[in-house]
Amino acid sequence: MLSKLPLMQPLNSSKNHYRYLPPADVCITQIIMIKLCILVPKRPDLTLEEFRAHWTNVHAQLFSSQPEVKQYVKKYIQAQSTGKSLNQFPLAPFDGVAEIWFDKMEDIGKVFGTENYLNRIAPDEAKFIDRDKILWIYTEENIVMP
């Protein structure tokens, strides 16, 4: 038996992002945010541990401290490879995924198109990321199972 839920439920601490909860027999999805998913390969001269340490301990703080990031980024998640796999599934040629949430597409350029990014953040990325192999995926969130 399904419990009754309110029709509008806050998605996160932000007061302007809500998810509509339809009746149980109706399947409705709604685009809520823009998520930039960056497939991140480590530099070949680094171990996975060195890559993870720099991304976690140096780059995360540098990126998060920038004024444009504080203004436009709603959430920043690092999903880092464990280096392990199940035998039936091959490892991807990436060592992590950065998931960066924005309210709208235009806000991405307000972070990554700035002199601050080019002069401070990009040079740090070159210390641990193979920038020639990085891939960016611009996504719209579609909640299937809340």
Per residue of the chain (146 residues), what is the pLDDT tens digit? 344 444 445 555 555 555 555 555 555 555 578 999 999 999 999 999 999 999 999 999 999 999 999 999 999 999 999 998 888 888 899 999 999 999 999 999 999 999 999 999 999 999 999 999 999 999 987 778 87
- Enter the pTM of the model: 0.75
User: 21 in a domain, yes or no?
Assistant: no
Q: Which pLDDT belongs to residue 7?
A: 47
**Biggest CA pair distance of the chain:** 56
CATH code at position 124: 3.30.70.100
User: 19 in a domain, yes or no?
Assistant: no
Q: How many CB atoms lie within 10 A of CB 73?
A: 20
User: 17 in a domain, yes or no?
Assistant: no
User: 18 in a domain, yes or no?
Assistant: no
User: 128 in a domain, yes or no?
Assistant: yes
Number of structural domains found in the chain: 1
User: 88 in a domain, yes or no?
Assistant: yes
User: 7 in a domain, yes or no?
Assistant: no
Question: Which structural domain, as residue segments, surrounds residue 40?
Answer: 33-142
Residue 106: name the closest of 65, 146, 82, 138 by CA: 138
User: 77 in a domain, yes or no?
Assistant: yes
